[in-house]
Amino acid sequence: MSRRTKAIVLNPYAEKALSPADEVLAQKYGLLAVDCSWEHSSILERLITPNARALPYLLAANPVNYGRPWRLSTVEAFAGALVLLGRRRQAEMLLSKFKWGMHFLELNSQYLEAYVQAKRSAEVVRVQEKLLRKIHTRTK
Q: Are 127 and 116 in contact (CB under 8 A)?
A: no
Question: What is the reported pLDDT for 35?
Answer: 77
Q: How far apart are CA 29 and CA 51, in angstroms?
A: 10
Q: How far apart are CA 116 and CA 19, in angstroms?
A: 7
Encode pLDDT of 63-79 as tens digits. Answer: 999 999 999 999 999 99
CA 34 to chain CA centroid, nearest Å: 12
> Of all helices (H) and strands (E), which one includes residue 8?
strand 8-10
On average, the pLDDT of the chain sits at 90
Question: What is the reported pLDDT for 24?
Answer: 96
The domains of the chain are located at 3-139
Which band of pLDDT confidence, cut at 50, 70 and 90, is reported for residue 1? Answer: very low
Is the pLDDT higher at 47 or at 121?
Answer: 121
| For range 20-46, the mean pLDDT | 79
Q: Among positive and negative, which fits the CA dihedral 54, 89, 106, 104? A: negative
Backbone angles phi, psi at 29, to 5 degrees: -115, -15
Question: What is the reported pLDDT for 33?
Answer: 87
